[in-house]
Amino acid sequence: MRLTATHVGTWRAMFLVIHRELRLSFRRPEQLLQPLVFFLIVTTLFPLGLSLQLSLLRDMAPGVLWVAALLASLLSLDSLFKSDADDGTLEQLALSGQSLTVIVIAKTFAHWLVSGAALVLVSPVVATALGIPVEAFATMLLSLALGTMTLSWLGAIGAGLTVGLRRGNVLLSLIVLPLAIPLLIFGAGATDRAISGISAAGALYFLASLCVFTCTLAPFAATAALRIALD
Amino acid sequence: MWTWFYRLASPPYVYRVAATLAPWFLTAAALAIGYGVIGGLVFAPPDYQQGDAFRIIYVHAPSGWMSMFAYTTMSIAGAIGLIWRIKMGHAVAAATAPIGASFTLLALVTGSLWGRPMWGTYWAWDPRLTSELILLFLYVGVMSLRPAFEDPGRGDRAAALLSIVGVVNVPIIHYSVVWWNSLHQGATVAKLGKPSMPGSMLWPLLSMFLGFTCFYGAVLCLRLRGEVLNRERQANWVREAVKS
């Protein structure tokens, strides 16, 4: 078989990587579902462990929801570059002639689609169980979407740094969680305000700006981290 | 013009310079901290609101400053190591991390000891306190990332990158009292215009800032010597230096 080099544009390359990632994730649906089930279980633990009073539960609901969402997203972060690094795909991608940053962006975005966006879709179920009123759903969904996306960008740095390590999972959480604290504060804050019926615009703008900030700079940091691992 | 910079990349040179500098830093630190302690704890008048409890500021504020200064130093040293591939940059970063983490812990502990009589609580989830706590976690992250790699060079570069990413937190700590309504008091000394403090309180405090910085310099020099010896343990010059 003769291999011919064809020129692939940046957008096309991005699309191809996203397509590949999505196809790989749907081939292994259990990996897709596990973080979601984890999210559901953790949020069930809180009402059972604390109290079954719905009024009390409602006060804690934003925090519980957000902490569970952060932990669930962290679970799936480990696999962001790991399997590709293990079987050498990552090296091939790095040598492909495409900018590694573009590939990192595509991979991270695809990862968000199957982890973060899926979490956002499940969150109304959890929110109902925690007694969050339907009027607050729009704010909650938007804040979770922005928050999980920012976490994916931050997580890409952490995953890139720990990709060469055999037991990098705990270290990954140790690195990413401190950086994710602002997300928790403003995300839970936005949801909390929406539950009380106050405008949550300030916190949402802040989350959106964090998302823009991380998605402009984090891919470069993650690329640098991967280059260290690939060296 | 750049020769001094290049010479700093040479381990034996750094090892010697650190040995020369350490006693100077140590003397300066002893003098400045000595004056600061006596001036601050004995001669400065009690605060009109806080009484004698304010005196913890003579330890608290300089440690807070050092926590950020050491972090910035660590990031810059790491960046130098990362960009120019100067191994001594990583050595400085590695030597700095535990010192900075200790200063951060000291700032948090002294702050919460002060908070008990003044705010009525050891801890409040206030922006300044939270961001300082994040700084401590960042130090811990950097310190645990470095030894996690089997290849020390890779660990150095990973830790440097993480510390550069975390440097966004430093301006957040500094401006947290301005940007958010904070329980923590605003800037007292490090601001444009006249400090909100009389001279008898201010001079000992400034002296403590200087003293803490010199103390950091001294400890850094000593730790750096150990770090260099450990990193260059295969080199001939280390064998000779240790023998003599």
The DSSP result for A124-178, as a single string, is HHHHHHTT--GGGHHHHHHHHHHHHHHHHHHHHHHHHHTTT-TT-HHHHHHHHHH
Query: Are A160 and A113 in contact, with CB atoms under 8 Å apart?
Result: no
Please list, in sequence order, all residues whose beta carbon lies within 8 angstroms of the beta carbon of residue A206, skipping any fewer than 6 positions away: A186
Per-residue pLDDT band for B1 (boundaries 50, 70, 90) equals low
The low-confidence residues of chain A, meaning pLDDT below 70, are: 1-6, 51-52
Cα-Cα-Cα-Cα torsion A75, A80, A85, A89, nearest 10 degrees, comes to 140
Beta pairing partners, B47: B51
Mean pLDDT, to the nearest integer, of B183-205?
A: 71
The pLDDT tens digits of the residues spanning B58-80 come to 999 999 999 999 999 999 999 99
DSSP string, B192-233: SS--SS-HHHHHHHHHHHHHHHHHHHHHHHHHHHHHHHHHTT
DSSP B8: T
Residue B83: in which H helix or E strand, if any? helix B57-83
In this predicted structure, the answer to whether residue B195 has a pLDDT above a threshold of 70 is no
Average pLDDT over residues B158-175: 90
DSSP state of B148: G
From chain B, the residues in CB contact with A162 under 8 A are 145, 148
CB contact under 8 A, A171 and B148: yes
Looking at chain B, the whole-number percentage of residues with pLDDT higher than 90 is 49
B198 Rama sector, left if φ>0, alpha if ψ -120 to 50, beta otherwise: beta
Dist. CA B123–CA B111, nearest whole Å = 9
> Of B23, B104, B224, A131, nearest to B112 (Cα)?
B104
Torsion (CA) B178, B182, B188, B194 in degrees, nearest 10:
50
Contact between chains at B154 and A231 (C-beta distance less than 8 A): yes
* Nearest residue of B to residue A168, measured between CA atoms: B148
Residue with tokens 């596990």: A34
Distance from CA of B11 to the nearest CA of A (A): 23
Q: Which residues of A touch B161 (CB under 8 A)?
A: 157, 161, 221, 224-225, 228
Rounded Cα gap, residues A185 and B200, in angstroms:
40
Name the more confident of B8 and B154. Answer: B154
Please report the pLDDT score of residue B238 as a whole number. Answer: 85
Please tell me the distance in Å from B93's CA to the nearest CA on chain A: 17
Q: Which residues contact A214 (CB under 8 A, 6 or more apart)?
A: A150, A153, A154
In the numeric block, the tokens 């990192």 are attached to A104
Q: Is the pLDDT of residue B48 over 80?
A: no
**At a CB cut-off of 8 Å and minimum separation 6, what does A162 contact?**
A78, A168, A169, A171, A172, A175, B145, B148
* Closest CB to B141 among A175, A224, A231: A175
Domain ranges of chain B: 27-40+50-238
DSSP structure string for A62-91: HHHHHHHHHHHHHHHHTHHHHHHHHTTHHH
What pLDDT, on the 0 to 100 scale, is given for residue B194? 61
Please, what is the Cα angle at A121 between A117 and A127, to 5 degrees? 125
**pLDDT at position A51, please?**
66
Contact A174 B134 (CB under 8 A): no
With contact defined as beta carbons under 8 Å apart, do A185 and A123 qualify? Answer: no
How far is the C-alpha of B188 from the C-alpha of B196, rounded, in Å? 6
Size of interface A-B (CB pairs under 8 A): 51
- The pLDDT value recorded for residue B182 is 66
What is the pLDDT at residue B29?
A: 95
Q: How far is A125 from chain B (nearest CA, A)?
A: 30
Structure tokens at A46: 């809180």
Shortest Cα–Cα distance, A23 to chain B (Å): 31
pLDDT reported for residue B55: 86
User: Which residue is associated with the tokens 């910035």?
Assistant: B72
Cα–Cα distance, A115 to A25 (Å, whole number):
10
Q: What is the pTM of this model?
A: 0.89
List the end-to-end C-alpha distance of chain B, in Å, as a whole number.
33
Pick from B140, B141, B165: which is nearest to A221 by CB? B165
pLDDT greater than 60 at residue B144: yes
With CB atoms and an 8 Å threshold, state whether A228 touches B134.
Answer: no
Q: Say if the Cβ atoms of A221 and B134 lie within 8 Å.
A: no
Q: What's the rounded Cα separation, in Å, for the pair B227 and B156?
A: 13
How would residue B184 be classed by pLDDT, with cut points 50, 70 and 90?
confident
pLDDT value for B201: 82
pLDDT score at A6: 65
Residue among A168, A178, A225 minimizing CB distance to B137: A178
Percent of chain B exceeding pLDDT 70 equals: 93
Q: How far does B156 lie from chain A, in Å, by closest CA?
A: 10
pLDDT at B178: 75
* Rounded Cα–Cα distance for residues A121 and B235 (Å): 59
B158 and A225 in contact by Cβ < 8 A? yes
Residues A184 and A66: beta-carbon distance below 8 Å: yes
Residue in the structure block whose two tokens are 């405090």: B205
